[in-house]
Structure 1
Amino acid sequence: MRSSLITVLLSSEKRTDLLLFLKEKPRTIEEINSELDTNSVAILPQLKRLKENGLVVQEDRAYSLSLLGKILVRRMESLVKAFRLLEDNYDYWSGVKPGGAPLTFFKLMEELMALIPDSSQDEDASSAYQKTTEALYSSKQILLIISHYDLRYPGICAENAKKGLRVSIILTQLVFEKFIEEFKGELDTLLLLENFEIYVLNENITPPTIAVTDTMVLTCFSTGKSYESENNTIASFGEKAVNWGQETFEYFRVLAKPLGPMPSNQLLLPDQRGDSK
Structure 2
Amino acid sequence: MSIADVLMTSKKRRDILISLRDGARTNKEIKASLNIDQVLLKHPIRELKEEEFIVQDDNSYQLSNIGKIMVEATLPLLNTLTVFEKDILYWRSRNLDIVPEELTEKIGELSDCNVVKLNVNEMFEPLKNYLNNCQNLKSLEILLTIVEPTAPKLLLLFAEMGSKISLLVTKEYLEKIKQIAYEELSILLELENVSIQVFEKDLKPPQIMLSDTTMATIFFNETDKYDYMEIVSYNENALNWGKELFLHYKNISHPLTEI
Length-normalised TM-score, structure 2: 0.69
Evaluate the alpha carbon distance shift between residue 30 and residue 235 of structure 1 in structure 2; reply closer, same or farther with a 3 A threshold. Answer: closer
Give the RMSD, CA atoms, in angstroms.
3.8
Classify the secondary structure of the residue corresponding to 1:183. Answer: helix
* Amino acid paired to 1:107: E
Q: As a proportion of its length, which structure holds more helix?
A: 1
Partner residue in 1 for 2:252: 255
**Does 2:183 align with 1:218?**
no
* 2:76/2:106 contact within 8 Å kept: no
Deviation at 1:109, TM superposition (A): 5.1
Counterpart mapping for 1:169-184 below 5 A? 169-184=167-182
Partner residue in 1 for 2:126: none
Deviation at 1:6, TM superposition (A): 1.3
Cα distance between partner residues in 2 of 1:143 and 1:252: 11
Partner residue in 1 for 2:82: 84
Classify the secondary structure of the residue corresponding to 2:61. Answer: strand
- In structure 2, stretches of 5+ residues that fail to align are 114-129, 221-225
Length-normalised TM-score, structure 1: 0.65
Deviation at 1:205, TM superposition (A): 4.1
Evaluate the alpha carbon distance shift between residue 55 and residue 217 of structure 1 in structure 2; reply closer, same or farther with a 3 A threshold. Answer: same
Partner residue in 2 for 1:268: none
Indicate which of 157, 160, 169 corresponds to 1:159.
157
Partner residue in 1 for 2:19: 21
- In structure 1, stretches of 5+ residues that fail to align are 120-128, 263-277
Partner residue in 2 for 1:94: 94
Evaluate the alpha carbon distance shift between residue 85 and residue 6 of structure 1 in structure 2; reply closer, same or farther with a 3 A threshold. Answer: same
* 1:217/1:241 contact within 8 Å kept: no
Classify the secondary structure of the residue corresponding to 2:166. Answer: strand
Cα distance between partner residues in 1 of 2:213 and 2:27: 36
- 1:205-224 per-residue CA deviation (whole Å, 9 max, x = no partner) reads 444444455x5573524434
Evaluate the alpha carbon distance shift between residue 59 and residue 194 of structure 1 in structure 2; reply closer, same or farther with a 3 A threshold. Answer: closer
- Which shifted more, 161-170 or 41-50? 161-170
Evaluate the alpha carbon distance shift between residue 235 and residue 53 of structure 1 in structure 2; reply closer, same or farther with a 3 A threshold. Answer: same
Partner residue in 1 for 2:30: 32
Counterpart mapping for 1:7-156 below 5 A? 7-86=5-84, 88=87, 90-91=90-91, 94-97=94-97, 101=98, 105-108=100-103, 110=105, 113=108, 133-134=134-135, 137-139=136-138, 141-149=139-147, 153-156=151-154
Cα distance between partner residues in 1 of 2:74 and 2:253: 37
Evaluate the alpha carbon distance shift between residue 81 and residue 146 of structure 1 in structure 2; reply closer, same or farther with a 3 A threshold. Answer: farther
- 1:55-113 per-residue CA deviation (whole Å, 9 max, x = no partner) reads 1222322222211111111223222223334564845983133xxx58xx222454675
Cα distance between partner residues in 2 of 1:39 and 1:71: 28
Deviation at 1:170, TM superposition (A): 0.8
Counterpart mapping for 1:227-246 below 5 A? 228=229, 232-237=231-236, 241=240, 245=243
